[in-house]
């Protein structure tokens, strides 16, 4: 693994300065170490088409070494193959598995969608969480999967189809405008919002951080406020909205939750799942996962509409 000095040299200076302002030195060092580790390949079995035991039999037959995920029985950590190699296998091509970061599997589990509910995934492409929501709902109910970008929406449709999702409607349009189309119709809303992606930075892959800037963080923070307000308007009274990002800064995380609780009739709801993850900070029921070799950096908070 690279030294912290080496990692600090590669990442944007302004990002590093802010990291040490917003976290204790020990936590900031831990975050940088996570950005210096090589991420393991992780995936989940698609229970709409397959089952865990058959998948584990396939892994043994193909000599794929794996660990189970302690807090999610459908999740697996692959130890001797990368994503590209996995994507060449029939189990991938047939839609029996979905390549997905472990952190990304957590928001749908916290949302806890049930059979027969009406659920909105506000920023759905490429579909990792939408397909997981459909599996948790056992393909019973309704999911509106929203995506603003036309090309990404096509990719989303393709992924939903190959994973065997039958209860989806893909809506092409801006998430902040969705409030004009639906009024208090959804039991649950997932807002896995566009963000600056700091939790996914890998120090020797400049593509992961080259578009980062403080200006972009502020632009996204303004968009996130509009999106969470739109999510609030379409959610039934007493309904649940889960807000998540794959970034680490305050402006796109805690500040958005504070805005939602001050300006909209939202309150933070307790998360009753013990994820048994080492690199996790739980501050007033706002969860922050620090990047590590098997987890991307993530922020998750569960809100209830009063």
Which residues belong to the active site? Answer: 246
Q: 199 vs 5, 157, 236, 269, CA distance in Å?
A: 19, 26, 31, 24
CB atoms closer than 10 angstroms to residue 280: 15
- Full DSSP string of 194-226: ----GGG--TT-GGGTTT--HHHHHHHHHHHHH
Question: For residue 40, what are the contacts with CB-CB under 8 A and spacing of at least 6?
Answer: 77, 78, 79, 293, 294
Nearest to 156 by CA among 122, 185, 188, 184: 122
Helix (H) or strand (E) holding 80: none
Strand order across the 66-69 sheet: 66-69, 72-78, 41-45, 97-99
């Amino acid at each position: 693994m690279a030294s912290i000095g080496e990692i600090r040299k590669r990442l944007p200076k302004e990002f590093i300065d802010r990291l040490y302002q917003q976290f204790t030195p020990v936590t900031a060092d831990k975050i940088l170490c996570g950005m210096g580790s090589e991420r393991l390949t992780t995936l989940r079995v698609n229970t709409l088409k397959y089952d865990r035991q058959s998948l584990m039999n396939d892994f043994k037959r193909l000599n794929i070494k794996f660990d189970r995920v302690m807090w999610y029985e459908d999740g697996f950590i692959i130890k001797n193959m990368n994503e590209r190699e996995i994507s060449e296998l029939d189990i991938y091509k047939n839609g029996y598995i979905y390549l997905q970061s472990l952190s990304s599997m957590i928001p749908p589990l916290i949302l806890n969608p049930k059979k027969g509910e009406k659920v909105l995934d506000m920023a759905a492409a490429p579909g990792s969480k939408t397909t997981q929501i459909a599996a948790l709902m056992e393909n019973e109910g309704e999911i509106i999967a929203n995506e603003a970008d036309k090309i990404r929406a096509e990719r989303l449709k393709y992924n939903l189809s190959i994973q065997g999702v039958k209860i989806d409607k893909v809506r092409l349009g801006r998430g902040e405008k969705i409030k004009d189309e639906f009024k208090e119709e959804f039991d649950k809303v997932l807002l896995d919002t566009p963000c600056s992606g700091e939790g996914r930075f890998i120090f020797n892959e400049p593509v992961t951080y080259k578009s980062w800037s403080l200006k972009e963080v502020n632009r996204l923070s303004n968009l996130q406020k509009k999106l969470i307000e739109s999510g609030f308007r379409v959610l039934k009274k007493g309904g649940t909205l889960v807000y998540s990002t794959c970034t680490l800064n305050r402006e796109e995380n805690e500040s958005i939750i504070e805005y939602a609780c001050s300006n909209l009739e939202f309150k933070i709801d307790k998360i009753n799942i013990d994820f048994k993850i080492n690199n996790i900070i739980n501050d007033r029921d706002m969860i922050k996962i620090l990047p590590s070799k098997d987890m991307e950096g993530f922020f998750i908070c569960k809100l209830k509409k009063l």
